[in-house]
Structure 1
Amino acid sequence: MKPHRNRIKTSASIMAAAVLLVSPVASAGGLMVWEIGTPTLGTAGAGWAAMPEDASTAYTNPAGTVWRDDTEIMASGQLMYGHLDFSDGGQSNVPGNDGGNAIEWFPGGGFFAAGRLTDSVGWGFAMAGNMGGVLDYDNDWKGRRFVTDVSLIGMSLLPSLSWKASDCLSLGLGLNIMGGYYKYESRPRAGLLGGDARLKYDDTDVAFGANLGVIYKPTATTTLGLSYTSKVDWEFRDDLRLRDFGPLFSLLVSRLNGARTDIDMDVPQTVTLSLQQRLSAVTTLYANVNWQEWSEFGFIGFQIDNPDQTSATINREYDDTWHGALGIRHQYSAGALQGWSLSAGIGYDSSMEDLNSRTADLVVDKTWRLGLGARKELCPGLRLDVGYTLAWVGDPNIDQSGRPPFSPRLQGSYDDYSLNFFGASVQFEL
């Protein structure tokens, strides 16, 4: 942190390493999601970095783009619907309602293209977002002293090249051009007589990183994928906006209202290892394991509970997380499902938060994922995939307290916290 005059500068770094697959909008153990509308919706993310036959490999593993005979293009879309309702535990001390459903409908998806320049050199391009979270509470809810609205959204453009080193090995390198949007808003107490003030901050930024990948096919039925994405450093800069504070905070408002505020935030560094194993001519197994170093991540949230406070920096202590997923796909050659492939998968993410570190602007916990999907070749060179993933978080508890003199407290739980992802993709060959 480098504070001077009326400037708040906060640094945070995220590393997420995946041993067999990685990567919410606050839906899993961290802030990265597996769901971008691609066929991995139907396997709960399993096989993420080991599907070189999909154009989406341009996003998940750039080394896969060279493994094709024709140029392939995929467009995906999805809708996410969440259920995140706060239930008061009886010890919250700010009057108000329970905040409503903080996560409702949210769109997503992407565009992917992959092809070959020569027999041994491939190219790829991808556009998708799988980083961030959006929470929108009622303005008069019991946790408004901490947050009413927060958004952190990342979108990546990924041009890449790949090289087939041998008949069983390829390498890939891509540039990650990543745009980010950060917004934070809360309703601090206005003064001794109560009432709500307002604190707001928002900005966008574009930063750069690198993607590396390896595809290894030791046999005709086995594909291993390894991908690495480097850290991306966002620097958000905007004027902090304070409004409707009482006389008790006049000094703070005069110092901070309109002050240029810088927030440095590092998007995760990740390592991903995935498996695709063909069990028979019609059945394929997918698997993932990952590790994410969320202990290196600090997330920004402003709290103004002390009139002598002139800067706000919150470095939260999070835990490293791990993830595992297993999926299967089976193609039917007869009966009512002839021509269709059906898939299913299950995954688990541990939590980066516990009760001591959980705050109302970032609600994550251990998460189970269940994926279901269907695939059909509509005609030669044109393929349709549809998928659904349920991310079940459960009932994470929260007990967040603010600073004197007012010492707001939010105590309770988020019951039956879940996310539902509905998506589809179309891939065709040129």
Structure 2
Amino acid sequence: MQPKYLTLIIAAALGAVSVGAQASGYRFGSQSISGQGTADANGAEAADASTIFYNPAGLSRLDGTQISVGTTVVMPHSSYNDTGSTRFTGTPTGGTAANDYVPTAVAAPSLYLSKKLDDQWTAGFGLYVPYGAKLDYGNDWNGRYALSNIKLEAITLNPSVAWKLNEHHAFGFGIDAEFMKAELGQAVDVPGSVAALSSGAGAAQGAALIRQIAALGGNPALLRTARDGHGSNDGKDWGWGFNLGYMFTLDENTRFGLAYRSSISHKLRGSTVWDFSQVTSDPIVNKVLQTASRKQNSAALVSLRTPETLSANVFHQFNSKWAGMADVTFTRNNRLGNLDIEFPGTTEGAEVIRQQWKNTVRVSLGANYAYSENLTLRGGIAHDQSPVKSAELTHPALPDSDRMQYSIGANWKLSPRSSIDLAYSFLDFKDARINYSNQCNPLATACTGNGETTRGVYQTHLSLLGLSYNYKF
């Protein structure tokens, strides 16, 4: 039985490529409560210090010292219907249905600060969660050979500065320091491997395995009762990038913005731990199976570059009550083909994650309505494309699809210096079909993989609830 490794770091690798508030994939959902209220159409509005994320040139419009502190709670709902997942041998994976694999709620903070230095310069600092994921399918579900659980966390520190050339032109620049951390697990298809070695081309190798177990005092008969092993992994890394912004103010009511966020290079480093202790009731059999599989605890490495984004946006104040805004964001995902996951210090071939993401466009429209002097109402709608090309390139770590976002929000002034923002969004995803096959089976020698095919349909929607507090010094 040849080695088969966990698709370690796949979550971080896939998740990292969806950086950006306008990107799909593993986008967390909101980096600004005021922006969320307009479905993130507010890139040219620059209403508060969260403009650091959308367009740092917008800092030039902020007076004094301002702070915005917020929290977004994501409440996901997702169901999965398996339509015939199989082992590499072509037999059904069996197992149980995936239930309750998404958390009830996940929260993420955001913090933005701005300070006007003089008539031309404004400095700022942002802290936000660009993306994240948490799925726990359990160790017995139909697609366990592809993934059993994933937890992906990321945070970005974004110091920024804006320079106002004159009343019409402003420029912004920021540094992005990005930290990502991933944990994930995957079942090991020991039963499928034993079955493949019991007859045909694998019979000789299977017979040698039986003799080895017997020679060590183990019970070879227990091979017929073999259960899955399990592998777990964690990985983390810091990466660096930058973002640029330009804002053109046509007049007091109209302005246009352009914003660019660079790609970020990551070398995700982690470790893998294997557990064969529950494969059978005989420790000798378990040890022989693990040795034959060449499953050794080891380091892991995957190198990747996140895609850059380019946004164009506009804001117009129609009258004292109404303002409209729009944003179009292009995300260059096609730099990311297959991901090769390496195992330094071992002789194992790389795990190849077939991905081949496509470029995406997100379009959003939003509006503000000044209900009163102290209360402004917001609303927005957006269409967001998925970077995943097809069911054959959809993995259980990212059952993504095109989605619509519907948002409402409000800003309530508590005093001339302070206010709170509230926002609610509903994201409705198209059904995501999955028919993903790992193209390297456990008996292969030049690569690693389970060889499984995961087939099914995901149905998903999300609710986002945001609250922030803003203060002007």
TM-score between both structures, scaled by the size of structure 2: 0.79
Counterpart position of 1:121: 121
Q: What's 1:61 paired with?
A: 55
Give yes or no for the alignment of 1:202 onto 2:234: yes
Q: How does 1:342-357 map to 2 (within 5 A)?
A: 342-353=377-388, 354-357=390-393
Residues 17 and 271 in structure 1, CA contact (< 8 A), matched pair in contact too: no
Larger CA deviation: 126-135 vs 87-96: 87-96
Mapped partners of 1:90, 1:222: distance in 2: 55
Write the distance in 2 (CA, Å) between the matches of 1:301 and 1:148. 20
- Alpha-carbon distance in 2 for matches of 1:424, 1:284: 22
Task: Give, in whole Å, the separation in 2 of the partners of 1:264 and 1:315.
Answer: 15
Residue type at the aligned position of 1:291: F
Q: Look up the match of 1:44.
A: 39
In the alignment, which residue of structure 2 is the partner of 1:340? 375
Give 3-state SS (helix, strand or coil) of 2:59's partner.
Answer: helix
User: Partners of 1:280 and 1:238 in 2: how far apart?
Assistant: 55
Partner of 1:383: 419
Deviation at 1:139, TM superposition (A): 2.0
What is the deviation of 1:37?
4.3
Contact 1:376 1:383 in 2 (8 A): yes
Alpha-carbon RMSD across the aligned residues, in angstroms, is: 2.8
Structure 2 Cα separation of the partners of residues 274 and 133 of structure 1: 28
After superposition, the Cα gap between the structure-2 partners of 1:409 and 1:17, relative to the gap in structure 1 and judged at 3 Å, is: closer
Q: Distance in 1 between matches of 2:257 and 2:109?
A: 22
User: In structure 2, what residue type is equivalent to 1:278?
Assistant: Q
User: Which residue matches 2:93?
Assistant: 94
Q: Map residues 22-421 of structure 1 onto 2, 5 A cutoff.
A: 22-23=22-23, 29-47=24-42, 49-90=43-84, 93-104=92-103, 105-191=105-191, 192=194, 193=224, 194-244=226-276, 247=288, 250-254=291-295, 257-298=296-337, 310-333=349-372, 339-353=374-388, 354-402=390-438, 403-404=440-441, 407-415=451-459, 417-421=460-464
Helix, strand or coil at the partner of 2:227: coil
Alpha-carbon offset, residue 16 of structure 1: 7.4
CA shift, 1:423, in A, is: 0.5
Alignment check: 8 A CA contact 2:300 2:341 kept: no
Q: Structure 1: state its 5+ residue gaps.
A: 1-7, 24-28
Secondary structure of 1:234's counterpart equals strand
* SS class of match (1:296): coil
Shift of 1:201: 1.5
Shift of 1:111: 0.3
How far off is 1:394 after superposition?
3.0
Aligned to 1:3: none
Distance 2:72 2:315 in 1: 24
* Contact preservation (8 Å) 1:217, 1:223: yes
Return the offset for 1:22. 2.7
More helix by proportion, 1 or 2? Answer: 2
Equivalent pair of 1:43/1:327 in contact (CA under 8 Å) = yes
Question: Structure 1, residues 229-272: CA drift from partner, whole Å, max 9, x if none?
Answer: 11111212122222217545524435xx2222111232332212
Instruction: Provide the rounded CA distance (Å) in 2 between the counterparts of 1:223 and 1:82.
Output: 36
Residue 365 of structure 1: SS of its match in structure 2? Answer: coil
CA distance in 1: counterparts of 2:137 and 2:341, whole angstroms: 16
Q: Is the 8 A contact 1:9 1:264 kept in 2?
A: no
Identity among equivalent pairs (%): 22
Query: What residue in structure 2 maps to residue 26 of structure 1?
Result: none
- Contact kept, 8 Å, 2:85 with 2:93, in 1: the verdict is no
Structure 1 residue runs of 4 or more that deviate by more than 6 Å after TM superposition: 8-18
Secondary structure of 2:77's match?
Answer: strand
Give, as a single letter, the amino acid of the residue that structure 1 aligns with 2:75: Y
Aligned counterparts of 1:76 and 1:355: Cα–Cα separation in 2: 36
**Measured at CA, do residues 205 and 142 of structure 1 come closer, stay the same or move farther in structure 2, by a change above 3 Å?**
same
Distance 1:155 1:15 in 2: 14
Range 393-402 or range 140-149, more displaced:
393-402
**TM-score using structure 1 length:** 0.87
1:146–1:302 Cα contact (<8 Å) kept: no
Residue aligned with 2:95, SS: coil
Cα displacement string for residues 4-30 of structure 1 (whole angstroms, at most 9, x for unaligned residues): xxxx99997987799xx833xxxxx32
Quick check: 2:85–2:452 contact (8 Å CA) kept in 1?
no
Structure 1 residues 421 and 141, CA gap change in structure 2 (3 angstroms):
same
- For the pair shown, which has the larger CA radius of gyration, 1 or 2? 2
Question: Residue 164 and residue 326 in structure 1: after superposition, are their counterparts in 2 closer, same or farther (change >3 A)?
Answer: same
CA distance in structure 2 between the aligned counterparts of 1:309 and 1:252, rounded to whole angstroms: 11
Distance (whole Å) between structure 1 residues aligned to residue 366 and residue 402 of structure 2: 19
Matched residue type, 1:429: K
Q: Which shifted more, 105-114 or 94-103?
A: 94-103
Q: What CA distance in whole angstroms lies between the structure 2 residues aligned with 1:249 and 1:320? A: 41
SS at match of 1:118: coil
Residues 224 and 33 of structure 1, relative CA distance in 2, 3 Å threshold: farther
Cα distance in 2 for partners of 1:302, 1:234 equals 13
Count of residue pairs the alignment pairs up: 405
